[in-house]
Amino acid sequence: MKTNKFYLLFLLGLALSFGSCSKEDDPQTEPKEEGSVEPPVEEPVAINLDNYNSGQKVMMQAFYWDVEPRFEWWNNLTEKVGGWADAGINRIWLPVATKGQSGGYSMGYDVSDYFDFGEYEQHGTVKTRFGSREELETLISTAHENEVEVIADIVINHNSGGGEEYNPYREEMTYTLFDEEHGNASGMFNRNYEYFYPNSESNYYDNSLFYPETNLDHHRAYVQDWLWKKDNSVAKYYKNVMGFDGWRFDYVKGFEPWVVKEWLNEVGGFAVAELWEGNATVLEDYVEKTGSGAFDFATFYKLDEAFDRHNDLTYLQKDMLWKTYPEKAVTFTANHDTEKDDNDENNISGGNKMKAYAFILTHPGYPTIFYSDYEHPAFQEEIKQLIKIHNSLATGDTEVLYVDEDEYIMKRTGNSENPGLILYISTAKNTKRRTLSSDWKNVTLYDYSDNSTYSPTSDENGTVTLEAPANGYSIWSITK
């Protein structure tokens, strides 16, 4: 019995010895012969967005309210416009470029002399708040050298800074005398009370408008001639002499749509109207009557409601101008008025602003970037990437794949030469994933916003599970 136990122990030790030898032969610890090593798993390779073109770029609103430094703004923009062009900007919208009643402090909306671009001594200054005429001309030429159009802000409703005179049609003194001695040093487009409402040809006036006593009467032939018809009219001088390429019409509620239509019929150019109206139907009616584009305030308000007022992304499905007139809808998330310090209601909060930019830079419409957002150190690189995505992949039909209070998923279908994209926005406190149908079959996807490191692969039917970071967004498309 002792001999048998010893023999059994010997066999057990021998078996353990062979087991130890096979462990050493494991390929994890001992390399195999050359040519037998399994290849490593390859990381997905993003496509080069520079190889794709959505057919549209974006506009920069190149100012904010009360810009600083005073008298140097045109020089500041001249230094920046080349970099903006490289980032994918193809138009810059300038502030009102002529002398206002507030002189060196004026943002131009209190327009006095339509032809003083910073060369006449009046209202206490030669330069406008933004600089001299020569500096403006340098900015415009620099923009054109970089294939960037320059958009003029046009105020043709109210005037300011004229001399006082008696207006018999109002039976009171009004500041409606504009000549070389009274707020119009250029001597071009001199005005008096006959060219404002009411006058000898019109009893109509609306005291609810800005500066109602200096609200120009566009029915008067003299006013039409000086604003758009004459060879040296405001429109033709700005276009042919100064080199402006298009128009942003300020406060169009102050005059009839036919004015814009006639202006554009006379001189053409890109045009966008400031019709501060959240009803998409009203905006649609305006672009139909004028032929002009319009700022898509309907989209702006829906973004505000979805992200800030109601925290409900289903608002992103409601009516917006881009849904019916994408070629006329100029979308935006902020402007000089919404970002004023005293504006607590009509704005999108900083914490939600990048999600709002992700929306307008992936959906149809012509997006506008606000200067202060782009130049903000915390936002600039993210906005640059969104512009790049917009200019490359944001094309094709739009389809909402899923929406609820805290998730919004939208697809741009692309075309035969462009894969398109899928936008996934989430306001949830945790990472979200959702399985949905795509147009991409058997392909690994990549988040081109760089907000997610997840790398899902679609199946043979295009079904794929996508991810959005907590209170953020992702933008998906194919890899190589």
pLDDT digits (tens, 9 = 90+) for 32-45: 345 545 555 578 89
* CA angle 80–81–82, rounded 5-degree value: 95
Whole-number Å distance between alpha carbons of 386 and 405: 24
Q: With beta carbons less than 8 A apart as the criterion, state whether 369 and 334 touch.
A: no
Helix (H, G, I), strand (E, B) or coil at 151: strand
Distances (CA, A) of 202 to 59, 156, 216, 254: 39, 18, 11, 16
In this predicted structure, the answer to whether residue 330 has a pLDDT above a threshold of 70 is yes
The domain segmentation of the chain, as residue ranges, is 49-394, 401-478
Q: With beta carbons less than 8 A apart as the criterion, state whether 306 and 315 touch.
A: yes
Whole-number Å distance between alpha carbons of 253 and 235: 20
With the C-alpha atoms ordered 370, 375, 377, 381, is the resulting torsion angle positive or negative? positive
Q: With beta carbons less than 8 A apart as the criterion, state whether 422 and 449 touch.
A: no
What would the DSSP string read from start to end of 351-402? Answer: GGHHHHHHHHTTSSSEEEEEHHHHT-TTTHHHHHHHHHHHHHH--S-EEEEE
Q: With beta carbons less than 8 A apart as the criterion, state whether 320 and 280 touch.
A: yes
Q: Which one, of 64, 69, 183, 65, lies nearest residue 131 by Cα?
A: 69
Query: What is the helix (H) or strand (E) element at residue 76, kind and residue range?
Result: helix 73-87
DSSP state, residue 334: -
| CATH (one of 1.10.540.10, 2.60.40.420, 2.60.40.1180, 3.30.1330.20) for 401-478 | 2.60.40.1180
Strand pairing partners for 111? 100
Does domain 49-394 fall under CATH 2.130.10.10? My reply is: no
In this predicted structure, the answer to whether residue 308 has a pLDDT above a threshold of 90 is yes
Note the pTM of the prediction, 2 decimals.
Answer: 0.90
Whole-number Å distance between alpha carbons of 383 and 247: 25
- Percent of the chain scored above 90 by pLDDT? 87
pLDDT at 206: 79
pLDDT digits (tens, 9 = 90+) for 396-429: 999 999 999 999 999 999 999 999 999 999 999 9
Q: With beta carbons less than 8 A apart as the criterion, state whether 356 and 333 touch.
A: yes
In this predicted structure, the answer to whether residue 225 has a pLDDT above a threshold of 70 is yes
Averaged over 230-250, what is the pLDDT? 98
Whole-number Å distance between alpha carbons of 148 and 281: 32
Query: What is the helix (H) or strand (E) element at residue 265, kind and residue range?
Result: helix 257-267
Contacts of 185 (CB under 8 A, 6+ apart): 99, 113, 116, 120, 121, 122
Contacts of 333 (CB under 8 A, 6+ apart): 300, 303, 348, 353, 356, 357, 360, 370, 373
pLDDT digits (tens, 9 = 90+) for 365-399: 999 999 999 999 999 999 999 999 999 999 999 99
In this predicted structure, the answer to whether residue 341 has a pLDDT above a threshold of 90 is no
In this predicted structure, the answer to whether residue 219 has a pLDDT above a threshold of 50 is yes
- 457 or 3: which leads in pLDDT: 457
pLDDT digits (tens, 9 = 90+) for 277-305: 999 999 999 999 999 999 999 999 999 99
pLDDT at 35: 52
